[in-house]
Structure 1
Amino acid sequence: MKSAYLYVRVSTDEQKRKGYSLPEQEDRLLKYCKYNNIEVKGIYREDYSAKNFNRPEWKELFSEIKKKSSGEDKNILFIKWDRFSRNVEYAYEMIGKLRKYKTTAMAIDQPIDFSVPESTVMLAVYLAVPEAENTRRAQNTANGIRRAKLMGRYPNKAPIGFINLTLMDGKKTIAPKEPEADVIKWSFHQVAQNDHKISEIMKIANEKGLICSRSHFFRILRNPVYCGLISVRLEPNEEQMIKGLHEPLISESLFYQVQSVINTKRKTTSKKNDLRELFFLKGFLTCPVCDRKLSASISQGRSKKYPYYHCHDGCKTRINAVFLNECYQNKLQQLILSNNAVELFRNILEDQNIKIQKASYLYTQKLLERKIKERS
């Protein structure tokens, strides 16, 4: 071996930035090449999983190998075979591709003499062990998540409207997160009323601060976590609902009412909500004559329609909606928050933080109550 490309790999970007594995691998490979008088033609540093070869640095290395003349023997060095691949099938396929370009892959800690037929047995072991480790690790993780869910804990990343918390005992839970939690509550209640199209409800929810796609919004409506239930898959076709320890956003009855609305094929009875943006002051205005709340509607003129805020029968109060909306918006722009208002908002934020802490304490209390019941 006169020359070689060096390949070092870790699984994640965080390991690349904060860990010492990449520099350690590179340093050992460089010392190996110096000791054996091997010219280093390039170093490729990777921060991708080895479940397949769809990795940026490996693709670049493979392209470089294909550019070289076919008459030249080429080599790729790495520390162990798990740096090369953690999938037996893909590993053998890639070794075959490298052979077409007269390239040999070699692990300095697990050397293989490909000229000896029996060496293929050791290669199979070196490649199979990392795949078995990955499979076992994935299975252990899945079992741990299932056990946590059976205990009523939600161990995954918190869904929108919740936030992940770590309790004083080190266990993880989720708690409501504002303002998304309130918007989600509002969305469930609106869908349950079955008065508006779900797409219209989603649009208003987005404006209120719930930023998500249409498909994500439907996943929210179908997620039992919001009513305090956690879905646990026991068998491929068997699923169980566990009462969670976290604080629910809605009741179970409301959740199943929404499922009925979503899953039932029905003739749409929802109302168009196009007027909502035009008459956004409706319900907040009072008549200057009779002190009753003003309503709103559109009057048909000869050539076009005219929007008005108006009073009820018997009162002739009528105000152009476009004019009044512009006056209201201009007045808002002139407002400046006083020091007292700023202080009030600061207190509101502090109260919100207290709510999160309260959710953590309630979770701990429920956990202790469950343990007492189990022991009694």
Structure 2
Amino acid sequence: MSKKQETQQVKTIRCAIYTRKSTEEGLQQEFNSLDAQREAGEAFIASQKAEGWRCLPEMYDDGGFSGGNLERPAMKRLMEDIEAGKVDCVVVYKVDRLSRSLMDFSRVMETFDKFGVSFVSVTQQFNTTHSMGRLTLNILLSFAQFEREIIGERIRDKIAAMRAKGKWSGGMPVLGFDVDRSGTSPKLVVNATEAKQVRKIFEMYLEYRSLLPVVKRLQEFGWPNKIWRTRTGRTRGGRVFDKPAVHSLLTSPLYVGKIAYKEHIYEGEHDAIIDQDTFDAVGKMLKAHQKGRAQRLVNKYSALLKGILVCPYCDCRMVHRTTKRKSSVYRYYACQTTVKSGADACEMGSVSAAMIEAAVVDELRVIVDDQGLRDAVYQGSKGLLDKEQAEVETLLAQLKAQINRDTKEVQRILKHEVFENLNDIRVEDLKARIATAEADVVVATEKLKQVAARQLSRLDIDIAMSDFKVVWTSLTAKERVHLVELLIARVVYDPDAGSMAISYHPTAITALVEECEEAVA
């Protein structure tokens, strides 16, 4: 191979030079600090020309901007170009030109790594295209992670200390309270208008003894949940009450003048809205209701279509519910929207669990007898696996080509007996790349074997579908749920038309073959 052909094979590395100066002093000079930084970067890139390095014409210069944060126009442009795939390597004069904050630096490095961008500091022997540079980077990032964890612990300790003293530690305010920020620390103060609504909600629950009637009454009143304005001027909250929101309100110790932190309850600095007796009575009633529901629950694996059945009107999942009728338990599916917000929130009524589950199983039995479907399944399964096999084979070819190129490059360097530091590092880096690629070849080869093992013949499909009826009757309730989850992605039942649409997983037939083989074995 000629040198010209070798040069053509070297990948072009698009290098962006980033420069920064904290003050504007001296920037008006004909040759200033930013120019000097850029000149050093250009010289370094030129020294790597044989490796395919090329300097981009775009100027990323931040004059008069601190390195303590990332709020810099040129830095933002650089990050946008990196995310757009326009940059392969970022070159700076010194590491602190990029950032003086270790945490900000770690975040920038994470972005670089995400988009496959290398980082070079010209004067500090810091180059993430080489193994030593990557090691240094990992050490820096480890310290950054340690710093983040220490800061997190300090924040958690501060919150715990504030809560123990009964102070409001921030977060979203709840209905009935506003946040007074006029003092040295924020404090909860009672909102008289909202406090009346809170007392009414507690009264209604004691009267109705159920969450759903309270939700309906609140919707009739047109009372939304807490609305507040953030310090940046944005309006938050104001959502319509549903059952979880009402339950959260009724169980919040804030309303009896207390502050909760994890498992502990502390006396708060703020005034109470609800007296302790009322709060305890509501809490006792809620617990009794939950205990009664728990006693009515049946085997959790009896819900064959849990997480699969979908409401045709609002596209929400339908949840499995039970109710007791005389001496028997009745199972049904209800739209999640109606469960949270009442029957008026969605047109969908309840669906008998026994009816819809039997209909889905009958559909499966009919489908497995359809010869046309068997042919379609075979073609579809073969197409998916052929595509996956082709992708793995392409990856293998690329890895082997990379190993071949890097091996020849190592041989070329050693043949010319050039043992300068730069070439020594280059050889070690190439050897590391070869070792990584060889490991990837082993993984890809194993994956190729797995894909080949999953290839199904027409006979496999015929046997699996013929065995389905026998296998189904021998499965336990838990095993049936598992098989349905493997086969079916989504079921939409239309009560008006009395029809349903079933969507299957692309790999459903493979799962069916495996399940049938296990059952027969």
TM-score where L is the length of structure 1: 0.48
Tell which has more relative contact order, 1 or 2 (C-alpha 8 A, sep 6+).
Answer: 1
Greater fraction of residues in helix: 2
